[in-house]
Structure 1
Amino acid sequence: MKKYTYNEITLTQYIFLIHGAQVGIGVLQLPRILAEKAGTDGWIIIIFGWIASIVASLIIIQIMKKYPEGTLIDLITKYFGKWAGKAIALFIALYFAYSAFLILQRSILFIQIWILPGVAGYVLMFLFAIPTYTIARSGIRIIGRYAELVFFLLLWMPFFYWFALWGNHHWIHLLPLFKDMKKVLLATKTTAYSFFGFEIVFLLYPFLQNKEKASVGIIIANSLSMLVFLFITLVCFAFFSPDEITHFNEPTLSILKVVEFRFLERMEIIFLAFYLLVLSRAWMPYIYGAVFCTSWLFGKQNHSKHLLLLLLLMVVTIYFVIPTFNQNDLLQGLSAKIAFPFIYIIPLFLWIYLSIHERIRSRFIK
């Protein structure tokens, strides 16, 4: 009997959960970061980052195939013992909670700067916590449906940039191509950070109905994210000059300041208000993943109390520690250093170990 049958997700939900976890706060700053690292050839880095994420994703899928009815925690427990399983559950819970908190914190900072400068951070965190609790307490299936709904509801948002580029673009900014490929190659690691999010497959895999399509699904999810990153980067590179773009913290929003209608001004504020729905798709899977792991640690089926406690803890943290952009940047840098080996390096060695273990075991059985 399948352990997680009660909360199974479809392939579409699986794709949009991964895609939603990847496309978050990073999109707003990505064009500036790429321009600083590699100039207007920065868009090429996205393709290299996409290839790296595809390879890492497929390795994770191969690992999960070793124990298809369980999460990474169950797999580690099976092969390495109970205490190893508890250790990885605690690590993933802390990592996911930390990642969700950073996304929420950054979202609050954006709102305070662009929309509601006079509202306290803990108030905004509390307002975010209410819908997050309502959706996440119902399980990963409901979060998957929410991610799917938000994706299709916001398909019209790229048209914001069509209006911005109308008469304000210069594709010559991208020329000449391949100016300094050495810089591009050295900066590939930067784009690899932007694709963080596919690691939630470690917990999503046993919930997927058709596990045979897990590899195809994760390739589609990564490809959708790559297209979003590539689109927004090329738009910003065509709009801003190579030197000008580095002076805007969030060029993805700043570009929309030129868009005005007789009946509406400040389009960037309208865009950001809708973009909060996109950001919510990023923090919700992480929050669910954190409380899923803590519930597993304590042997509980219902994660609602853990979810409520985690959200209240985040509200209290924001109340006592007033967030700043510099602080959030430092915390994101720390998160990237922790996540990179967990996502790109450790899975490779784990896959090699499990493959060797299975071969040795099959020889002894024969």
Structure 2
Amino acid sequence: MKKYQYNEITLMQYIFLIHGSQLGIGQLALPRHLAEKAGVSGWVPLLLGWASSVAASLFIISVMKRYPNGTLPDLLVHYFGKTIGRIGAALMAVFYAFSSLTCIIATGLMIQEWMLPQTPLFILMILFSIPTYLITRNGIRIIGRYNELVFFLTIPMAVFLLAPLKDGHPLHLLPLLGEGWSPLFQATLVTVYSFLGFDSALILYPFLKKKQSAVLGITIANTMSMILFLMTALSCFAFFSPDEITQYHQPTLDLLKVVEFRFVERLELVFLSGYLFVISATWVVLMYNTVFCTSWLLGKQDHQNHVLVLLACIVVLAYFLDPSANQLEDWFHLLTGAGLVYAFAMPVLLWLYIRGKELVHGRSRT
């Protein structure tokens, strides 16, 4: 009997779980980071980042096929023993806990900056924690349905990102490759954090009903994210001048200040209110990944108490740390480095080990 058959998810839920975990808070500041590294050609690294994430995703699926009814910790136990499996699960829990902490804290700081400057950060964390707990406690199938709902509800928001293009200047996108290839490769590292999320397949794979569609699903999810990132970056690059775009902390929101309706004065605040649902879909998946790993370590099926403990820790950390925007940038850099090791390098090394072991066993049998 399959270990995770009672929480099986459809291909659509699998796609939106991965896609939803990739959007998050990074999209709002991504154009600025790309412009700082690669100038007007900063959108090109998005294509390179997409190709890298798809390649890493294929390695992940290839690895998970070797143990289709288990997650990455189960696979590590199968190939390396219980000790390595528990160490791997613990490191995964730390990575996803820090990722979810960074995402939800960044969202709180953004809400403070744009909407509620007098509200303490820990109060916002408490407000975020209530709906987060209600969703996360019910397991991956409910989270998948939530991500589906968020995607279809927020599709019209993408149209607002294209509205300012009527005042844009295509010449801002030229000269193409004017800075050379070196800045483009450096800027590709900036996209790592934005594309992180496909690594959730290391946990989601055994829950997928039709595992033969795993490659198609993860490729579609990465491509959907790339299209959205590319659309956002091109809109910002075309609207702002090359020097101007680096002066805005979150140019995606500043872009919407020029869009006005008779019944809405500040569209960026309306957009931000709706975008909270998109960001929540990211941290909900990250938190589930965290409590799944901690529950696996303790050998328990129920993770509701783990969700409560995680949310309580986030509220306490928000109260005592009260991080600034500069500290948050350091967290993003740390996550980028950890993501390179965990999501990009580790699956390749694991695949090489398993493939080498298969070849050695194949020769010994002959």
TM-score, L = length of structure 1: 0.98
**Which residue is 1:343 aligned to?**
343
Question: What is the alpha-carbon distance in structure 1 between the residues aligned to residue 282 and residue 180 of structure 2?
Answer: 32
Aligned-partner Cα distance in 1 for 2:194–2:104:
17
CA distance in 2, matches of 1:163, 1:213: 36
CA distance in 1, matches of 2:191, 2:289: 24
Which residue of the partner structure matches residue 181 of structure 1? Answer: 180
Could you tell me which amino acid in structure 2 is paired with residue 204 of structure 1?
L
Q: Secondary structure at the match of 1:187?
A: helix
2:102 — aligned with what?
102
Instruction: Note the C-alpha offset of 1:178.
Output: 2.2
Tell me, yes or no, if the aligned pair for 2:259 and 2:267 is still in contact at 8 Å. Answer: yes
Q: Deviations over 1:270-305 (max 9, x none)?
A: 111100000011101110011111111111110001
After superposition, residues 27-42 of structure 1 pair within 5 angstroms as 27-42=27-42
**1:176-196: CA deviations, max 9, x gaps?**
222133221332222233211
Letter paired with 1:218: I
Q: Tell whether the 8 Å contact from 1:22 to 1:197 is kept in structure 2 after alignment.
A: yes
How far apart are the structure 2 equivalents of 1:64 and 1:338? 21
Per mean C-alpha deviation after superposition, the further-off stretch among 255-264 and 219-228 is 255-264
> Is the CA contact 1:50–1:192 (under 8 Å) kept in the aligned structure 2?
no
- State the percentage of identical aligned residues: 51
Report the counterpart of residue 151 of structure 1 in structure 2.
151
Q: Paired residue for 1:262?
A: 262
Provide TM-score, normalisation by structure 2. Answer: 0.98
| Structure-1 separation of matches of 2:321 and 2:18 | 30
**Post-superposition shift, 1:323?**
2.2
1:318 is aligned to 318
1:144 is displaced (CA, Å) by 0.5
Q: What is the Cα deviation at residue 126 of structure 1?
A: 0.7
Equivalent residues in 2 for 1:1-366, closer than 5 Å: 1-166=1-166, 168-182=167-181, 183-365=183-365
Following the alignment from structure 1 to structure 2, what is the Cα–Cα distance between the partners of residues 186 and 36? 10
Query: Quick one: distance in 2 between partners of 1:191 and 1:27?
Result: 10
**Separation in 2 of the partners of 1:191 and 1:310?**
27
Q: 1-side partners of 2:64 and 2:14: how far apart?
A: 15
Q: Describe the SS at the equivalent of 2:70.
A: coil
User: How far has the Cα of 1:227 moved from its partner?
Assistant: 0.1
Unaligned runs of 5+ in 1: none
Letter in 1 for 2:265: E
Shift of 1:361: 2.3
Task: Indicate if the aligned counterparts of 1:205 and 1:214 stay in contact, CA closer than 8 A.
Answer: yes
CA displacement at 1:121 relative to structure 2: 0.8
CA contact under 8 A between 2:193 and 2:335: conserved in structure 1?
no
Distance 1:261 1:190 in 2: 35
CA distance in 2, matches of 1:210, 1:181: 44
How far does residue 365 in structure 1 lie from its aligned partner after superposition? 4.3
Q: Moved runs in structure 1, 4+ residues, more than 6 A?
A: none
SS of structure 2 residue aligned to 1:158: helix
* DSSP 3-state at the match of 2:68: coil
Contact preservation (8 Å) 2:164, 2:235: no
Aligned mates of 1:120, 1:100 — CA distance in 2: 19
- Give, as a single letter, the amino acid of the residue that structure 1 aligns with 2:350: L
* 1:320 Cα offset (Å): 1.4
| Partners of 1:8 and 1:207 within 8 A in 2 | yes
